[in-house]
Chain A
Amino acid sequence: GAGVSQSPSNKVTEKGKDVELRCDPISGHTALYWYRQSLGQGLEFLIYFQGNSAPDKSGLPSDRFSAERTGGSVSTLTIQRTQQEDSAVYLCASSSPGVWDPSEQYFGPGTRLTVT
């Protein structure tokens, strides 16, 4: 079946503009994660959604970052008033967690964001 898809694959934006990044998880996967991969910082957790539960937003770096997940499927990560330090690859992952087995997270190809 189809894997995790993300769009756009590349995004170049001017400093101060807002951007929206989209993630389509694997069908049936109830858990969805956003991570950021940047030079020098490595991979960082941003936010976690699980079904209808309140999301874990503990990794969002500032209040310019927000995310939502509609209908338990598609997720959108929004960055307002982008800054150059927001330049990174934004990765989405989904999984179907069980009680005892932290199931594998399946990663999308990422969105490369460049803020000029």
Chain B
Amino acid sequence: AQSVTQLDSQVPVFEEAPVELRCNYSSSVSVYLFWYVQYPNQGLQLLLKYLSGSTLVKGINGFEAEFNKSQTSFHLRKPSVHISDTAEYFCAVSRTNAGNNRKLIWGLGTSLAVNP
């Protein structure tokens, strides 16, 4: 079975400061990794994903994440946040050996609040 732990439920940060949202996973099989964002009153949107290859992946809106297999982590970072980055961020995994079934196992989310 797979599980995802997002270590911070809430992260307050000032505008233009850097931010890191932490995600660790547990799995007995290899997984793909994802970060989704949910802006207030909007649906879930994919930020970025790690499938294979380079462990540093870049996503939309200036976000990036680094896959660390030894630490089973996939932390999300942005060097300078904006007010508009205020949202709920979800880390998720799906098994690589499940054929076309890409059901996502989710963390509980991190609420990022960017303050002026």
Residues of A within 8 A of B (CB): 31, 33, 35, 42-45, 48, 50, 56, 59, 91, 93, 95, 97, 101-105, 107-110
CA distance A14 to B94 in the complex (A): 35
Pick the residue among B32, B42, B103 that contacts A59 (CB under 8 A): B103
Q: From residue B61, how far is it (CB to closest CB) to chain A in Å?
A: 15
Q: From residue A5, how far is it (CB to closest CB) to chain B in Å?
A: 11
**Residue-wise interface mask of B (10-33) relative to A, using a CB-CB cutoff of 8 A (1 in contact, 0 not):** 000000000000000000000010
A42 near B106 (CB under 8 angstroms)? yes
Q: Restricting to B50-108, which residues have a CB under 8 Å from any CB of A? A: 51, 90, 92, 94, 96, 100-108
Q: From residue A64, how far is it (CB to closest CB) to chain B in Å?
A: 21
B103 near A107 (CB under 8 angstroms)? no
Q: Majority SS of interface residues in chain B? A: loop
CA distance A108 to B43 in the complex (A): 6
CA distance A39 to B92 in the complex (A): 17
B101 near A56 (CB under 8 angstroms)? yes
B46 cross-chain contacts in A, Cβ below 8 A: 104-105
Tell whether B115 is near chain A: CB-to-CB under 8 Å.
Answer: no
A109 cross-chain contacts in B, Cβ below 8 A: 42-43
Pick the residue among B45, B101, B104, B108 that contacts A35 (CB under 8 A): B104
B101 cross-chain contacts in A, Cβ below 8 A: 48, 50, 56
A50 near B44 (CB under 8 angstroms)? no
Closest residue to B6 on the A side, CB-wise?
A42
A33 cross-chain contacts in B, Cβ below 8 A: 103-104
> A101-B51, A107-B43 in contact; A45/B100 too (CB < 8 A)?
no
CA distance A33 to B90 in the complex (A): 17
